[in-house]
Structure 1
Amino acid sequence: MGVPSSLPSAAAAALVLLALLAGGHCREAQLDTGDLDAAGTENYNASDAAVYWGPWQKARATWYGQPNGAGPDDNGGACGFKHTNQYPFMSMGSCGNQPLFKDGKGCGSCYKIRCTKDKSCSGKAETVIITDMNYYPVSKYHFDLSGTAFGRLAKPGLNDKLRHSGIIDIEFTRVPCEFPGLKIGFHVEEYSNPVYFAVLVEYEDGDGDVVQVDLMESKTAHGPPTGRWTPMRESWGNVWRMDTNHRMQAPFSIRIRNESGKTLVAHNVIPANWRPNTFYRSFVQYS
């Protein structure tokens, strides 16, 4: 939702605040005003947000969706993750602007965030996961949180009061994701077939992010093992795809590279009898 540029800055800011408090999709949290950090003129540096347990950095936070919800109405978002109201997300998702979302390569990244300036803030750090894209930032780093995540920053009993603040100053630092009891997961996307294969990478413990995905077929069309990794293309969010001119031979192994340079391999994670719209889990080998 845009704000008419002819409005005085104070009135425009008030309209923006009302829009943010009303919830909706994080992409609607648009600012045209010049009194909130002139976010569009900032020099973004994604690497500043990639250091684990680095110095606490300044950011701003808003919230969207239902006050105690997971954010988007469909419990998904621009990363493609499913059921963000369930474990391991537990409604603690956030839209991130470009230095956090990183054209989808920041999907699944985990951050500790805290707020202290607002009187309703607890100062306690909470972990959030990047699950969506924020196209209209209000500062250099902008977390548009689910209503649940935003409320968790408050002192006991002051969740709603903090949410009514609309835009708050926070601090953040990158942390490894911790998903006890979960293996890496791959959701084979709808419309996948023997010559087109698309997969959503989910629940990656540790780094959380994915910067490259490669696929190895179990054998060639003529029988012998391939032993060759083929790069997949980033489709959107955390969905990666492969288009071929031959019928791919399953089972498939999948290799993932993180922003830190770590490589994870899930051997034969996609079985020979794989089906579209199906979720497969696997232990991984690190290198």
Structure 2
Amino acid sequence: MGSLPAAAAALALLSLLAVGSSRETQFDVGDAGLDAENFNTSDAAKYWGPWLPARATWYGQPNGAGPDDKGGACGFKHTNQYPFMSMGSCGNQPLFKDGKGCGSCYKIRCRKDKSCSGRTETVIITDMNYYPVSKYHFDLSGTAFGRLAKPGLNDKLRHSGIIDIEFTRVPCEFPGLKIGFHVEQFSNPVYFAVLVEYEDGDGDVVQVDLMESKTAHGPPTGRWTPMRESWGSVWRLDSNHRLQAPFTIRIRNESGKTLVAKNVIPANWRPNTFYRSIVQYS
């Protein structure tokens, strides 16, 4: 009988942790039955594949977008606005993929908890989950977690803390948008960093290349220069010469599809500025 209070305290602590920040929530990974070799990103990458089991928690404000800065480890801006609409989620490594999973879209549903509606909702990977409680772990915004509930039971479901869910990868659908680029704060003529944001379709980015409009001496370059992943969905190019804008940007997705945003960054580009473009697929 003496062990019951300790067990109850441990259970209460786990429930509190379940609704903490993705960056602060700390679970014993060993107790969750996880093993590094069990992580399989290929299963999660299949569009409309079989529904896979996962677990979900939530963090931030009950009706919020997740982190206080409305961003996260992917670097996305204003995730409380269209097209994210507060439906973001932290993903553990098989979902976040060292940042290459940023922007991926997933259908999720829950049916085991009595407060669950069983209805499917679409969430976008916007952040990193550092302390997973299962092989696949979605740490949802408070808004996204509540959307899984039956009408009027949003708060009751959130009080469950950790729930079992199912998920499948789907293409992102952002009507009216194709792709956006935010030129990062410290970009300058010899250093260019860009956040790739809300890409319609695959959502994720595995490689970004930049083409200058001309060489320093005038003629067109016709040459792609690979950019390096900086963090999250931010890609950078360190140059040994003054970069010649406008820039055309090419993106390759996990599926192998390539898209090109021609002259998307204008000649008079400025840091801390957002640019969008019509894209050409290949």
TM class by shorter chain equals over 0.9
* Preserved contact between residue 126 and residue 152 of structure 1 (Cα < 8 Å): yes
Please state whether the residue corresponding to 2:38 is helix, strand or coil: coil
CA drift of 1:41 comes to 5.0
Please state whether the residue corresponding to 2:117 is helix, strand or coil: coil
**Structure 2 residue aligned with 1:48:** 43
Unmatched segments (≥5 aa) in structure 2: none
* Preserved contact between residue 29 and residue 131 of structure 2 (Cα < 8 Å): no
**Structure 2 residue aligned with 1:4:** none
Query: In the alignment, which of 115, 128, 148 is matched to residue 123 of structure 2?
Result: 128
The letter for the 2-side match of 1:216 is M
Unmatched segments (≥5 aa) in structure 1: 1-6
Please state whether the residue corresponding to 1:161 is helix, strand or coil: helix
Distance 1:127 1:90 in 2: 11
Query: In the alignment, which of 259, 263, 274 is matched to residue 264 of structure 1?
Result: 259
Please state whether the residue corresponding to 1:242 is helix, strand or coil: strand
Query: In the alignment, which of 167, 172, 193 is matched to residue 172 of structure 1?
Result: 167
Distance 2:128 2:30 in 1: 22
CA drift of 1:259 comes to 0.2
Cα distance change of structure 1 residues 41 and 255 upon mapping to structure 2, 3 Å threshold: closer
Asked if residue 209 in structure 1 is aligned to residue 200 in structure 2, the reply is no
The alignment covers a number of residue pairs equal to: 278
The letter for the 1-side match of 2:175 is P
Asked if residue 224 in structure 1 is aligned to residue 207 in structure 2, the reply is no
CA drift of 1:27 comes to 1.5
Show CA shifts across 1:20-52 (max 9, x none): 23x4x21122102754x3235561011110000
**Structure 1 residue aligned with 2:151:** 156
**Structure 2 residue aligned with 1:60:** 55
**Structure 2 residue aligned with 1:26:** 22
* Preserved contact between residue 104 and residue 203 of structure 2 (Cα < 8 Å): yes
**Structure 1 residue aligned with 2:14:** 16
Q: Which moved more, 1:173-182 or 1:37-46?
A: 37-46
**Structure 2 residue aligned with 1:253:** 248
Please state whether the residue corresponding to 1:26 is helix, strand or coil: coil
Distance 1:42 1:139 in 2: 13
TM-score, normalised to structure 2, is: 0.96
Distance 1:41 1:115 in 2: 26
* Preserved contact between residue 30 and residue 136 of structure 1 (Cα < 8 Å): yes
TM-score, normalised to structure 1, is: 0.94
Please state whether the residue corresponding to 1:27 is helix, strand or coil: coil
Distance 1:230 1:128 in 2: 33
Identity of aligned residues (%): 87
